[in-house]
Structure 1
Amino acid sequence: METTNIKAFGTEAANAPLNEMNINRRKATPHDVEIEILFCGVCHSDLHTARSEWGPSMYPCVPGHEIVGRVVNVGGHVSKFKVGDLVGVGCMVDSCRECQYCQEGLEQYCEPGMTGTYNSPDKHLQDTPTFGGYSESIVVDENYVLRIPENLDLAATAPLLCAGITTYSPLHHWKVSQGMKVGIVGIGGLGHMGIKIAKAMGATVVAFTTSESKFAEAKRLGADEVVLSKDAGQMAAYRGKLHFILDAVSAEHDINAYLALLRVDGSLALVGAPEQPLPVAAFSIIMGRKSFAGSMIGGIAETQEMLDFCGEHNITADIEMIDIQNINEAYERLLKGDVKYRFVIDMASLKNKN
């Protein structure tokens, strides 16, 4: 297969910093869209994968799955996009397309496994991993490319491709709507999107944080009420009051304290990814027929639905723009939670010399 050599930023090993490198991309096949990458969000998954913290990573590793760009070339059979279109690519670039989940539009749960935007075996280039958005361009099958609403700021839209769909999907699945009281736990990259989206769905939003300094921030993002989760009295006031809770915390925390806040038949969906198991007491779910669930990104159709919803409600992420040359420093800040609320790389910086 014909390839072209492009610039990217990635790493050769778990303990090595990210540096400029050259990678090969396939040239567009009949069903492919070639995209010049304009902006790429920085997700915690990027850091974990670059450092091989979620199982063995494939090297070289070029992270990035919150991609916004412009179509610069299309294959001869492409019908959904044309040169000049503003598009996005999220966490996956392919799936088997044949299993029951792919058929149902749940490609993220593909039985043989979806093809991740990075760190997956490349279906087209043998013995090569897929390379993500920390690069000049990307070539993706048109069925895994998304249309970006024209009214949204492009840089601030990039994080919607992961953080946006990760929070929209469970809120949509559990039918969050007007008249419901919804808890959002953790006000970070995921949580701040959860607040905005739940509010736009019509819910009364209750934000939970361990830090009083985030109260004003949570209100600014759209929370109707804010609770200091370390304060037993404040937590007790919400016992049995919430229809749904979206838990976006990746650190160890007491899940039972939040399950207690659900109404009968309420559900808590975990989208954060704590490293250690979270103990769940049997009576936390038995009493009240409660559900403790999880959720992972969304299918292609649902991701497009999320983008359209965000376009309609003018929702984007709160971002801090960086140059690609500052990615290693951004990773260190990410580890400390020192970002409000998502780093986004201006990929024009990749054209600059270090």
Structure 2
Amino acid sequence: MKKSSSQKISLGLFVILSTIILIIALYFIGNRQNLFGKTFKISAVFNNVNGLILGNNVRYSGINVGTVKNINMINDTTICVDMIIEEKFLKHIKKNAVAGISSDGLVGSMVINIAPEKAFAAPLNPGDTIKSYSKISTNDMLETLNTTNDNISLLTSDLLKITTNIQKGKGTLAMLLNDPDLATSLKNTIFNLQTASKSASNSLTEFNSIIKSINYDESLSAVLLSDSIAAIQMKSIIANLDTSSFGIDSVITNLNELVLTIKNGNGTLNYVVNDTTLVNNIDSTVKNIKEGSIRLNENLEALKHNFFFRGYFKKLERKKAKEEKNKKYKSEIND
């Protein structure tokens, strides 16, 4: 049975419409991936999107949570990117999250990675704009590498000049490397420094042993070092000595003035000290007194043997002998 032309037209239109609907559905599914689920929108502002296009994935902590819905260029340095995120991830994304653009592998498409912050923050609300950071572009990296290469070239040139001067014996470093006498002197200096440091270390060890050997209970040095009362007394003694020194100085000055007065004056002391005639007279008087005492002793001895005074002197001798005998007797009794 042959089909009518109207049936053929209807069948063609049905096939065409079905094909169009299928293509549209595949387009939305492939680009948005969330056509039939609940979603919410958030935004982030970048200076450079680095080739990001509509439909690129949005990841949170490495998990695909949405896609890029819209890219608007606000000005020459500000680009706003709108993202569609599945609603089930809303409670996990916080307001302090940070968005960044990176590539999916070495040659993959661009993706937006949202990284959580460790600090506590409130959950994100639909329509919020989160912070962002711009990844260094390939051109910036190439410019940095170019600058680095220029610096390396200059550094290599300077190093070449330095090594050339060293080989030619110019500068202190070249002398240290090429002059054996200077190297020997430097070695001797280092050896002397080592010896001095060892001596200083030994001296410190001995000093520590001396400090440790001090008897802080009995020795005078410990008292001087640790007894505050002794320190105050020592300070007082030093102050008294200082005061006494001023007094002694004053006494010496007075004595000097007295000596000068005696030497230059007309008083008795000056006469006694400086008059030689008076000295001779005094000497003669002393000699006469001595001779008179000798003659007096001789006269007394003559009186002892005289007939008239002999009995008196014998009586004195007997009295003296009796006193000595009593004295001796008393000492024997006491013994």
- Does TM, normalized by the shorter one, top 0.5? no
Q: Which has the higher helix share?
A: 2
Work out which of the two has the higher radius of gyration on C-alpha atoms and give 1 or 2: 2
Q: Comparing both chains, which one has the higher relative contact order based on Cα–Cα distances under 8 Å and sequence gaps of 6 or more?
A: 1
Q: Which has the higher strand share?
A: 1
TM-score range, shorter chain: under 0.3
